Amino acid sequence: MKIVFLDEDTVVLNGDVDLSRVQALGKYEACMLSPSDDPVPSCRNADVVIVNKVRMSRHAIEQLPSLRLICEAATGYDNIDVQAARGRDVHVSNVAGYATKTVVQHVFAMALSLTNRILSYHSDVQRGEWQKSKMFGMLKYPTFELAGKTFGVIGFGAIGREAARIAEAFGMQVMAHDVVDLADTGHENHSFDEILAASDVLSVHCPLTEHTRNLIDAGSLDKMKKTAILINTARGGIINERDLADALNSGRIAGAGVDTLSVEPPVDGNPLLGEVKNLIITPHSAWSAWDARQRLMDMVAERIESFKNGSRDGLIV
């Protein structure tokens, strides 16, 4: 069985992830394609294709007669034409839950940095401002404790629930919002407007759909507390980036941390890449702890091994 990982370098950093479980399942080849590259020349005779961001379009799938399984090395599989795969009797799998804890860790890394103004104070020290101080420390920025504050969660799936659990460990009050019933979670399902108005830290964990695109815009930001912190580790398009930049620069909210942008990698003209106050941007890296990437590839191996043994459990199609 020939197995081709079309964009291995999106998951493996300098060989740090052990791929032996996948490699033992067949003849393994690694590529370093970008999402815009044509995958066909690299996997023309492949039985199994592993992808992270490379697009498996109808055109590509129809040119791969040997293809039997596409493994998405991620949770979201919008880069795969599932209908085209179904029409060619090509199965598709994905991996869910591999990065829950590392994403939540990133959420609180951002939240703590913003609430304690870590980057601002670090920059001041680097510039020599503490050394010039006439007192033992510096009191320059407003900060606040998380204990006793409200942690709002938009999208109460696995990651949202884990974020809520950690927030409660900090002594925060959790408010959840989702489009599905939350009766089995022990949390009340608050309205979107209630979440906006009450949250001291608002964390976004919903998928990007036509209903959630620009969900947080100028109108939403105006309903938030001026002292509130906004964190987005979900998808960039959920937040209107121009409106967020304006809200931060005008002081309508206190700060924001975003791990995703509407176009990735970002292009010139993204309003969040200019001079924006109290903003932390990371390059879609919340999922990328070594532990999560190793777990991801171990789970991909499990999907391929199960398929090879004749099981179709856990497949999308």
Asked if residue 304 and residue 274 are part of one domain, the reply reads: no
Q: Is residue 314 part of a domain?
A: no
- The separation between CA 192 and the C-alpha centre of its own chain, rounded to angstroms, equals 21
Judge whether 204 and 155 are in contact, CB under 8 Å. Answer: yes
Side chain identity at 187, as an amino acid letter?
H
Judge whether 188 and 176 are in contact, CB under 8 Å. Answer: yes
Q: Is residue 118 part of a domain?
A: yes
Q: Catalytic residue among 235, 293, 295, 303, which?
A: 235
Q: Is residue 313 part of a domain?
A: no
Which pLDDT band, with edges at 50, 70 and 90, does 213 fall under? very high
Reply yes or no on whether the pLDDT at 167 is more than 90: yes
pTM (global) more than 0.85:
yes
Which pLDDT band, with edges at 50, 70 and 90, does 21 fall under? very high
Reply yes or no on whether the pLDDT at 159 is more than 90: yes
Asked if residue 37 and residue 13 are part of one domain, the reply reads: yes
Asked if residue 205 and residue 155 are part of one domain, the reply reads: yes
Reply yes or no on whether the pLDDT at 314 is more than 90: no
Q: Tell me what pLDDT residue 267 has.
A: 81
Terminal-to-terminal C-alpha distance of the chain: 20
62 catalytically annotated: no
Asked if residue 205 and residue 124 are part of one domain, the reply reads: yes
Domain that holds residue 136: 100-281
Q: Catalytic residue among 29, 62, 194, 264, which?
A: 264
Q: Is residue 28 part of a domain?
A: yes
Asked if residue 147 and residue 91 are part of one domain, the reply reads: no
**pLDDT tens-digit profile of 97-140?**
999 999 999 999 999 999 999 999 999 999 999 999 999 999 99
Q: How far is CA 60 from CA 7, 27, 63, 79, 89, in A?
A: 15, 21, 5, 12, 14
Asked if residue 170 and residue 60 are part of one domain, the reply reads: no
Side chain identity at 46, as an amino acid letter?
A
Asked if residue 130 and residue 78 are part of one domain, the reply reads: no
Distance CA 192, CA 33 (A): 40
**pLDDT tens-digit profile of 177-205?**
999 999 999 999 999 999 999 999 999 99
Distance CA 57, CA 63 (A): 10
Provide the mean pLDDT of the chain: 96
Burial (CB < 10 A; 0-12, 13-18, 19+), residue 11, is buried
Q: Catalytic residue among 187, 284, 293, 303, which?
A: 284
The number of domains in the chain is 2
Residue 80, number of CB atoms within 10 A of its CB? 25
Which pLDDT band, with edges at 50, 70 and 90, does 223 fall under? very high
The average pLDDT across 244-256 equals 98
Cis upstream peptide for 265 (omega within 30°): yes
Find the radius of gyration of the CA atoms of the chain.
22
Asked if residue 21 and residue 123 are part of one domain, the reply reads: no
Distance CA 206, CA 281 (A): 19
Asked if residue 250 and residue 118 are part of one domain, the reply reads: yes
264 catalytically annotated: yes
Asked if residue 139 and residue 65 are part of one domain, the reply reads: no
Q: Is residue 315 part of a domain?
A: no
Which pLDDT band, with edges at 50, 70 and 90, does 268 fall under? confident
CATH code where residue 49 lies: 3.40.50.720
- Altogether, the residues listed in the chain come to a count of 317
284 catalytically annotated: yes
Q: Is residue 18 part of a domain?
A: yes
